[in-house]
């Protein structure tokens, strides 16, 4: 038969064992939760990188449209200047002769 002191030590050892098992289980859950969060963050990184690539492609496309429009505008401005000069040169003799006939 166990003495009361031995029984007390047995109770303490049993509590320590149960606490150790509980701590191990808690640590296991904590590691699993940490791994799950890491997986979620890696997934979010991948999604954000894909979103970023999509946005960058759209920016490149918009930039190309802008460059093309700007080039077309420069051509049209040059044509406008040329046509305006031609119109002035064609109107100049008409205006001069009109002014001469008025006096």
Residue 18, Cβ density class (10 Å: 0-12 exposed, 13-18 middle, ≥19 buried):
exposed
| Six token digits for residue 94 | 């008409």
pLDDT tens per residue across span 35-68: 999 999 999 999 999 999 999 999 999 999 999 9
pTM: predicted TM-score of the whole model, two decimal places: 0.60
How far apart CA 49 and CA 54 sit, in angstroms, is 9
Q: What's the pLDDT score for residue 100?
A: 67
Q: pLDDT grade, residue 70 (50/70/90)?
A: very high
């Amino acid at each position: 038969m166990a003495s009361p002191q031995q029984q007390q030590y047995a109770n303490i050892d049993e509590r320590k064992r149960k606490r150790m098992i509980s701590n191990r289980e808690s640590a296991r859950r904590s590691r699993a939760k940490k791994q799950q969060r890491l997986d979620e963050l890696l997934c979010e990184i991948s999604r954000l990188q894909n979103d970023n690539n999509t946005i960058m492609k759209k920016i490149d496309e918009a930039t190309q449209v802008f460059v093309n429009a700007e080039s077309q505008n420069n051509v049209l401005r040059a044509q406008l200047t040329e046509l305006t000069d031609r119109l002035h040169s064609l109107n100049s003799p008409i205006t001069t002769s009109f002014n001469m006939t008025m006096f």
